[in-house]
Amino acid sequence: MQMRAARMYGYREPLRIEEVPVPEPARDEILLKVAATGMCRSDYQLLDGYFRTPFPLDFPYIPGHEVTGRVVGLGSEVPKTAGLSEGDMVVVNPSWGDGTCRQCREGNEQLCSGDGRWLGFGPPGGFAEYMAVEYRHAVPVSEQAAKAPELLAPMTDAGMTPYRGMRKLRDTGKLGPGRTVAVTGVGGLGSYAVQYARLLGGGATVVALARSDSKLDVAKENGADFGVNVRDRSADAVRDELERLTGRGSVDAILDCVGSESSISMGFDLLGAEGVLAAVGLMSQQVEHRQFPFVGTELSYLGSFWGNHMDLVEVLSLSEAGLVKHNVTKVRLEDCNENLEALGRGDVVGRQVIVFD
Q: Are residues 181 and 290 in the same domain?
A: yes
User: In this structure, are residues 266 and 279 in contact, taking their beta carbons and an 8 Å threshold?
Assistant: no
* Model pTM score: 0.95
Instruction: Identify the CATH number of the domain in which residue 86 sits.
Output: 3.90.180.10
Provide the residue range defining the domain that includes 189.
161-303
User: In this structure, are residues 210 and 216 in contact, taking their beta carbons and an 8 Å threshold?
Assistant: yes
For every residue of 84-98, which 3-state class applies, written as one string? CCCCCEEEECCEECC
Q: Are residues 282 and 182 in the same domain?
A: yes
User: In this structure, are residues 304 and 165 in contact, taking their beta carbons and an 8 Å threshold?
Assistant: yes
Q: State how many domains the chain has.
A: 2
Residue 257 has what pLDDT? 95
Q: Are residues 35 and 97 in the same domain?
A: yes
3-state helix, strand, coil in the chain (%, to 5): 35, 25, 40
Q: Are residues 298 and 322 in the same domain?
A: no
Residue 232 has what pLDDT? 93
Q: Are residues 102 and 189 in the same domain?
A: no
Taking the chain (357 residues) in consecutive chunks of 10 residues, what is each chunk's mean pLDDT? 97 97 96 97 93 93 97 96 95 95 95 93 96 96 95 96 97 96 94 97 97 93 96 95 96 95 94 96 82 90 95 96 95 96 87 92
Q: Is the backbone peptide bond immediately before 60 cis, with ω within 30 degrees of 0?
A: yes
Q: Are residues 11 and 102 in the same domain?
A: yes
Residue 282 has what pLDDT? 83
Q: Are residues 169 and 141 in the same domain?
A: no
Residue 349 has what pLDDT? 82
